[in-house]
Amino acid sequence: MDAAHGGTDPGAKLSDKLQEKDVTLALSIRLRSALAARGIAVVTTREQDATLPQQARAETANRAQAAVCLLLHASNSGVGVHLFVSPTAPILPTKITPWSSAQGIFVQKSLKLAGTLNGAFTQASVPVTLARAAIVPIDNLACPAVAVEVSPLPPANGAPLRSLDNTEYQSQIAEAMVAAILEWRNGENSR
Ligand SMILES: [Zn+2]
């Protein structure tokens, strides 16, 4: 679980008092504890407001041999959740796969994981857009990987605006992601 940005890299300025790095960290901590409660071990790239090079984030994921990698971002553009999968072409694993193309081995699984996340967010009434983008360091990740960018939800169907610092909204997002990861794990185990 990578809470994008941090330390000297604040990410997007979401409001006068809200920076992207704080939203991603809050979500990461929320997700880690929700997943741990379901017996799923989570390795996070950061647990505080720390400056982390992209290389270090990828190293953490690859050293952990993660079953799933999620890169968390937050944005004021669009609504709901944007899911990004690497645009890299699928490749077959070789004895020594270069670090730069590690994601090529997993990209088909990454697309499947994005589909599972899409289903869970839709179930939770959070609108989703899917796209391919080389969100750094996704191409270096040796695991099924999806970047999850969370945007506010405008008022709809009687529900009020849900902003990125709204704890109810954060927990709605986290619960949907937990549901997706549980479904993913069950699917993986049955194979
Ligand atoms: Zn970002």
- Give average pLDDT by consecutive 10-residue segment, the chain, 191 residues: 98 95 98 96 97 96 95 96 97 84 96 98 96 97 97 89 94 97 83 49
Bridge partners for 129 per DSSP: 82
- For ligand 1, the distance from its centroid to the CA atom of residue 8, given in whole angstroms, is 13
Mean pLDDT of the chain: 95
Rounded Cα distance between 58 and 124, Å, is: 30
| Measured distance between the N- and C-terminal CA atoms of the chain, rounded to whole angstroms | 24
φ and ψ at residue 160, rounded to 5 degrees: -75, 170
φ and ψ at residue 95, rounded to 5 degrees: -55, -45
Q: Are 34 and 21 a contacting pair, CB within 8 Å?
A: no
Q: How far is CA 111 from CA 76, 99, 157, 162, 167, in A?
A: 25, 20, 31, 28, 29
Bridge partners for 73 per DSSP: 149
Q: Position 97: which residue type?
A: T
- For ligand 1, the distance from its centroid to the CA atom of residue 122, given in whole angstroms, is 22
- For ligand 1, the distance from its centroid to the CA atom of residue 54, given in whole angstroms, is 12
Which is it for the CA torsion 84, 88, 92, 96, positive or negative? negative
- For ligand 1, the distance from its centroid to the CA atom of residue 73, given in whole angstroms, is 4
- What is the per-residue pLDDT for 51? 98
Q: Position 18: which residue type?
A: L
- For ligand 1, the distance from its centroid to the CA atom of residue 118, given in whole angstroms, is 19
% of residues, the chain, pLDDT over 90: 89
DSSP string, 113-147: HHHHHHHHHHHTT--EEEEE---TTGGG-SS-EEE
- What is the per-residue pLDDT for 158? 84
- What is the per-residue pLDDT for 189? 54
- For ligand 1, the distance from its centroid to the CA atom of residue 189, given in whole angstroms, is 32
Stated pTM of the model: 0.96
pLDDT in tens, 145-185: 999 999 999 998 888 899 999 999 999 999 999 999 999 99
- What is the per-residue pLDDT for 67? 95
Q: Which two tokens stand for residue 67?
A: 């079953």
